[in-house]
Structure 1
Amino acid sequence: MLFNTECQIKGKISINPNFITFATHKLSTLARIYFRNIALFMSIWLIVMVIYAISNRVTDLEYLWKFSLLPALFLGLLAVLATFLGQTIRVKKGINWIFLLAAVAVDQAIKAYLFSLEWESISIPLIKPVFYIEPTQNTLGSYLWVLLRLKQGSHLLNMILFSLVGLIFVEVWRFYVNRKRNSFWINGFIHLFLAGLLANLIDNGFWGGSLDYITIKPFYTFDLKDLYITLCELFLVAELLDNRLLKRFFQMPKEDSKRLNRDFIRFVKNDLRIGRKKAE
């Protein structure tokens, strides 16, 4: 009982000790989840930025704190919002096409507006001397080709490659939610991933490459779809930690691992076979 009956008769109200224990445990668990997710979102950015700063020998303190801390705080706020939504909303099965199309539409609307201007000459400081709006077109269509130092890439090859990657990720997601759970984190992961993927396909098929517009000087330029992909990676890590999947994966017996692989292959075959039947 929440209140002590004997104390109520005497005109006093006292809270049941069991309720206090339950509430304390609940608040402690929530605080731990919030702290973990904030630390996760912020620390990954800080680690990457420290590597960038060291490799490029950045020593300007004003630059370093704006370069590292401000985006980390932004990601920390996103972690708070995402954790709150994860604790309060009920996740539905399947893809939320309204969210997905809206996310892609925002990314493409920004690019359509920039392409309507003389975007090559745009340089708008957001936070000096680090963040600027400086549009640049990646005609390779993929950062993969930049990493491989290729001077020319195939947009058709990009579209085929990313479509195959997207199909694999969707099947892994469907297999996971059918066997495990459909949590906020895994649901957010697939939506953000698909938003980034669709935006990338449109960039390659319609714009002739990705139009990136947010520059972190002197390192790189990115766009909204890159933020989607970054967040989807963070959501995936949060799901792995939330469900203790990494620990289970590394401790999984060899036979169980083989069985899991067979089950996944069987699931994909059945999934694609059902899709063909529906199409017919």
Structure 2
Amino acid sequence: MKTQNKKTYISVFILVAIDQIIKIVINNKFFDKKFPILPPLLYFDPMFNRDYSWFNSMLQLGVGKYIHILIVVIMSILIYQLYQYLNKQFGDNKIINIMYAFIFSGAICSLIDKVFWNGSLDYISLNVFFTFDLKDVYINVFIGLVILSLILKNKVLSQIDDDIVKDFTKYVLRKL
């Protein structure tokens, strides 16, 4: 494994560990506490989201735990495969490694939440709109980096077009 890939996977491990340690501490010591972080916008207000996803919660879809686990497993595999494919096609790329570390960490944290926490221990409340956790921040950092990279016309990301999507699909199908 390349040195940069090792750093990326160490980063994933650290990000997942931080998320889970925070949840363990909150669950054991601070679950019944509420206080402002940046009033009137952000508050510490822990709660369990037993609906397993924001979409399921907001739209009251009633989709169960095991379907959510299956979706996260499939998405995690696809994220991993896309990362492997991009490394094969373009070699080591720092921004892709960073983006992968955030999105894969978010996916692993989501899987841990569903399997071991029976939902997500969310603890940062954005006024009255919704409550989120560090995993959600990881996923949004990934989205922000993708948008920023597209705006700044990142060399590798600008090469991703319809042909690469077709090639990636073939790459994944060959792996099956």
The question of a shared fold, defined as TM-score above 0.5 by the shorter chain, is answered with yes
Which of 105, 115, 132 aligns to 1:205? It is 115
Q: Which residue of 1 aligns with 2:55?
A: 144
Q: Which residue of 2 aligns with 1:51?
A: none
CA distance in 1, matches of 2:17, 2:24: 10
Q: Which residue of 2 aligns with 1:92?
A: 4
CA distance in 2, matches of 1:207, 1:239: 34
**Match status 1:193 vs 2:103:** yes
Which of 267, 271, 277 aligns to 2:171? It is 267
The answer for unaligned runs of 5 or more in structure 2 is none
Which structure shows the bigger proportion of residues in strand conformation?
Answer: 2
Normalized against structure 2, the TM-score is what?
Answer: 0.85
Identity of aligned residues (%): 25
Q: Is the 8 A contact 2:103 2:142 kept in 1?
A: yes
The answer for unaligned runs of 5 or more in structure 1 is 1-90, 250-256, 274-280
**Match status 1:158 vs 2:68:** yes
Q: Is the 8 A contact 1:186 1:236 kept in 2?
A: no
CA distance in 1, matches of 2:78, 2:135: 19
Q: Is the 8 A contact 1:139 1:210 kept in 2?
A: yes
Normalized against structure 1, the TM-score is what?
Answer: 0.55
Q: Is the 8 A contact 1:136 1:212 kept in 2?
A: yes
- Higher RCO structure (Cα 8 Å, ≥6 apart): 2
Count of residue pairs the alignment pairs up = 172
Structure 2 CA distance for partners of 1:227 and 1:182, relative to 1, 3 Å? same
Large movers: runs of 4+ above 6 Å: none
1:1-280 equivalence runs, <5 A: 92-93=4-5, 96-117=8-29, 119=31, 121-150=32-61, 152-240=62-150, 241-243=153-155, 245=157, 249=161, 257=162, 260-270=164-174, 272=175
CA distance in 2, matches of 1:95, 1:171: 18
| 1:157 Cα offset (Å) | 1.2
| 1:262 Cα offset (Å) | 4.5
CA distance in 2, matches of 1:129, 1:215: 10
CA distance in 1, matches of 2:167, 2:160: 17
Larger Rg: 1
Q: After superposition, what is the alpha-carbon deviation per residue over 1:113-141, rounded to whole angstroms, capped at 9, x for unaligned? A: 1211362x321111222211000110011
CA distance in 2, matches of 1:96, 1:247: 22
